[in-house]
Structure 1
Amino acid sequence: MPGENDAAGWIALRSARGIGDVVGRKLLARFGGMCAVLSASVPALVAAGLSETAAEAVCEAPRRKAEATAEVERLAAIGARVIPCTDDEYPPLLAQLADAPLYLVARGERLVDAPAIAVVGARHATPYGKDVAARFAEELAQAGVTVVSGLARGIDGAAHTGALRGGGHTVAVLGCGIDVVYPPEHAALTATIVASGTLLSERPLGTPPLAEHFPARNRIIAGMTHGTLVVEAAEHSGSQITARLALDQGREVFAVPGRIDSPLSVGTHRLIQEGAKLVGSVDDVLAEIVPALRARGMAAPSRRDAHLADDALVPLLTAGPLAADELIRQSGLPAAHVLTRILELELRGILVQLPGKQFQLSTR
């Protein structure tokens, strides 16, 4: 039988008729691992809740090992790999979902253990919306936050571009096979993400970008991040679906307000009415995710030029609380560096945030 990390075994299990992600994860919990599931008898699988037809399909899965192995070889030929839900690289937040994929297919860099924010929005975005998305993503990346989006036209593409410009890690979650470039005009962006970030998909090779695949894709985007930022969204848009999935998963939701006469503001304004946090800067996002990072015991990400901010920020705060804007002004450092260090110092308990977005040295 294949080992627990054997990619072909996972593909064979997931391809068994009647075995979706929810059922598959229940079987893993019941039997203790993929190998045990594949070696279980029909009566044992039926006792675990499967129909006899589904149980027989699972028992037949090892016989399809040759097909699964061929898929793994095709993945390897394009530099892709399988990340099982039991692997250390599998996103830990995503693993908490009952319907998290049994495995992900990845191309590019290894997924990093860092705070992550989804940046999503309209495909037919305005120049303003794309500029805002790119700017937020760039500053988030500079602050050590992984930017996750869906590689769609409009806001998604702008978010990935901004994150790359900021020198950070970006993850593109696809609604098609990992080998399918969609939309076609993002071919160059896709290649850049493969070189400097990560592409993810739960679909087999060659799967086309069908409309019904994207809601499922959105659960991955929301599920692997600490919060979702929506920049421009029409009513009943896919971005609203992603935001509501994030809320259902207990994650933060942020929305950038827009013009009251724009159809692309209807979705974001409704999210704000329903409790999403209105944000006007990256500082607003960073301030909100600190408690979530602390609750999950996450270490602060590594920071560029952190030693400069250490030397500059702490002395400025010895006289009393200061707002982030004032710390930026008095330190003379780039805004992204100051916001980065504020987040790290908060996580370490050196700074505390006061009402009005002011910061002071901790008295602990």
Structure 2
Amino acid sequence: MSKQITWQKLSDWVLLHAVPGVGASRFNQLIARFGSPTLALQQSASKLADYLPAKSIEVIREIQQRSGKEYDQLESLLVKTEQWLEHSNHHIIPCFAEDYPSAFTHLSDPPPLLFAVGNTNLLEMPQLSIVGSRHPSKSGEENSYHFAHTLAKGGFTITSGLADGVDAAAHKGALDAEGYTIAVVGTGLDLVYPAKNKALAERVSQSGLLISEFPLGTKPQASNFPRRNRIISCLGLGVLVVEAALQSGSLITARLAAEQGREVFAIPGSIHNPLSKGCHQLIRQGAKLVDSVEHIWEELKHSLHTYAIGNELNQASTVQGEEEQLAIQSLLLEDPNQQQVLEAIGDETTSMDMIMARTGLSASDVNNLVLELEMQGFVAAVPGGVVRNPTQQF
């Protein structure tokens, strides 16, 4: 269960969420209008008519009367969900909870509830989403595994959809690297689709995280997977498309990522491979062409470093004294030259020429290092040069 939220408070959220026809958008509209699931479930048919189809209203009427076939099924689901939630690594995270993913603010229709199995702390870690064909070429499958393995070793959590092919290879690559991975699925978490990935799903739940916005018992349906894809695209700092046909869910994920302000990466391939055509189209549309892990690392490493800085500084918040603070700061910088440049910058405006004179570094090196320090939050650009960032606390 989400932190410090009782089942009693959560049960009406699960109930309204499971009413047929109440998706994320309608659920959020009902909350905005009536204030809570409990109050929404108490409304008359006339008041619900502006928000829900007739079938959903009829189910809510059964709930109010505590009788009927749909009501019995929903009551059974509530019992099943409460029992499922009793497992130590099972969680339900409502949108009002502290541990609800901050990335979901980028969605126009964020899930009102998130079901999870595993380590929910991964939701706030820097992630790269990897997607692609369910039937990739051998090289495509190897590329997915290799990129996931290397990036997971470097500190990224790898997010994908637990499908066959590229998705499964990405999860396995991250797990074999003893890194972290998140699988976003299009079914209830009491089911595994495809069934052949049951053992993989178990590995993910033990060392990573399985998540779904769908109630328990939800079977795989074609309409579920575009909804799953919007979460995959949203959680990652970027999306890597390994192989994809021109008409594929992977291209939908890439489009959603671009709309959400995420980076889009694509691996090129042979012009004779139909699974390369989707990647080539993405590249023509502005996706970054990558043929090595370093291309992704260069684009996203500042985000990973910023996360590490924030995490380390939170842990060291009780450290007192300027010397100890500077020692922490030194550990977080990427290389000695960064430390040298930072020491050359004072609280007063420091020009580039002055930094060059104090460090003996070239103009090109100083410009690059100052840019890196600015991206990491250590310094701020001001007229005439740079200063130590007054908002950055060590």
How high is the TM-score relative to the length of structure 1?
0.77
Question: Which letter maps to 1:98?
Answer: S
CA contact (8 A) 1:290 1:347 kept: no
Question: Which letter maps to 1:8?
Answer: S
Query: Which of these residues, 16, 32, 39, is aligned with residue 13 of structure 1?
Result: 16
Query: Which of these residues, 281, 288, 295, is aligned with residue 292 of structure 2?
Result: 281
Q: Secondary structure at the match of 1:228?
A: strand
Alpha-carbon shift at residue 172 of structure 1 (Å): 0.2
Question: Which letter maps to 1:105?
Answer: F
Does residue 98 in structure 1 map to residue 108 in structure 2?
Answer: yes
CA contact (8 A) 1:3 1:35 kept: no
Q: Which runs of 5+ in 1 are unaligned?
A: 328-341, 353-361
CA contact (8 A) 2:156 2:304 kept: no
| Mapping for residues 144-293 of structure 1, pairs under 5 Å | 144-289=155-300
Q: Secondary structure at the match of 1:235?
A: coil
More divergent stretch after superposition (121-130 vs 139-148): 139-148
How high is the TM-score relative to the length of structure 2?
0.71
Alpha-carbon shift at residue 58 of structure 1 (Å): 4.0
CA contact (8 A) 2:103 2:234 kept: yes
CA contact (8 A) 1:94 1:223 kept: yes
Q: Secondary structure at the match of 2:200?
A: helix
Q: Secondary structure at the match of 2:120?
A: coil
CA contact (8 A) 1:105 1:200 kept: yes
Question: Which letter maps to 1:183?
Answer: P
**Distance between the aligned counterparts of 1:264 and 1:213, measured in 2?**
23
For residues 45-66 of structure 1, the C-alpha deviation after alignment (integer angstroms, 9 at most, x for no partner) is 45x6446764564465464574
CA contact (8 A) 1:287 1:343 kept: no
- Measured at CA, do residues 311 and 223 of structure 1 come closer, stay the same or move farther in structure 2, by a change above 3 Å? closer
CA contact (8 A) 1:114 1:301 kept: no
- Measured at CA, do residues 163 and 346 of structure 1 come closer, stay the same or move farther in structure 2, by a change above 3 Å? farther
- Measured at CA, do residues 264 and 94 of structure 1 come closer, stay the same or move farther in structure 2, by a change above 3 Å? same
More divergent stretch after superposition (236-245 vs 35-44): 35-44
**Distance between the aligned counterparts of 1:118 and 1:255, measured in 2?**
12
- Measured at CA, do residues 282 and 213 of structure 1 come closer, stay the same or move farther in structure 2, by a change above 3 Å? same
> Which residue of structure 2 lines up, in the alignment, with residue 25 of structure 1?
28
For residues 200-251 of structure 1, the C-alpha deviation after alignment (integer angstroms, 9 at most, x for no partner) is 1223333333334322221221122232110111221221121112223332
| Mapping for residues 50-65 of structure 1, pairs under 5 Å | 50=52, 54-55=56-57, 57-58=59-60, 60-61=62-63, 63=66, 64=71
**Distance between the aligned counterparts of 1:142 and 1:111, measured in 2?**
18
CA contact (8 A) 1:153 1:183 kept: yes
Query: Which of these residues, 82, 99, 104, is aligned with residue 89 of structure 1?
Result: 99
Q: Percent identity?
A: 39
- Measured at CA, do residues 180 and 345 of structure 1 come closer, stay the same or move farther in structure 2, by a change above 3 Å? farther
Does residue 71 in structure 1 map to residue 80 in structure 2?
Answer: yes
Alpha-carbon shift at residue 130 of structure 1 (Å): 2.2
Q: Secondary structure at the match of 1:153?
A: coil
CA contact (8 A) 1:115 1:301 kept: no
